[in-house]
Amino acid sequence: FPGAISYVPQEPLIIKGTVRENLAFGYDSSDFKEDDFWQVLEKAELASFVKELPLALDTPLGERGTNVSGGQRQRLGIARALITMPKILVLDESTSALDAATEANITSSVLRNRSDLTLIVVAHRLSTLLDADRIYFMEDGKVANSGSFQELKQSNLLFREQAEAMGL
């Protein structure tokens, strides 16, 4: 199931169904091997949580994911996006409910052994962008500057002030 592009919004849609059905969303869950589900859950730092659920992958999540936290919903969205092995992965504030360490672990895990993946990240939290190859810094709805994190710290006063305010 090679997917060309996967998109993960800040608040991913969680259907009234099981973990498995939510991960396979848009596909028949039987199209995937059991291991496929666990691999993407590992990458999204959610496997240990799902293993502890009463029915693991077959545990119902409730209407709109009422049985999981905001961070768990975001990680489910990321796992869902990864199941098709996309070439381009767009994360649109999709880690905003996660702590910085979990976010860094997920990003590292997603990119590990995936030289064929282009990751596009929309983020307000600058720590999310520390290791980005290229950042496009927006001001007033327009690209004000682009470059690496360090290049933007040198060339853009507002970026530098925000980075320093966050201790970066």
The residues annotated with a catalytic role in the active site are 93
Sheet holding 5-8, edge to edge: 5-8, 88-92, 118-122
End-to-end CA, the chain: 39
Exposure b/e, 27-42, CB count within 10 A at least 16 = b: eebeebeeebbbbbbe
Bridge partners, residue 90, by sequence: 7, 120
Residues 6+ apart with CB under 8 A from 150: none
Bridge partners, residue 146, by sequence: 136
Q: By three-state DSSP, how is residue 92 classified?
A: strand
Q: Does residue 32 contact residue 1 with C-beta atoms inside 8 Å? A: yes
Token pair in block for residue 154: 């040198």
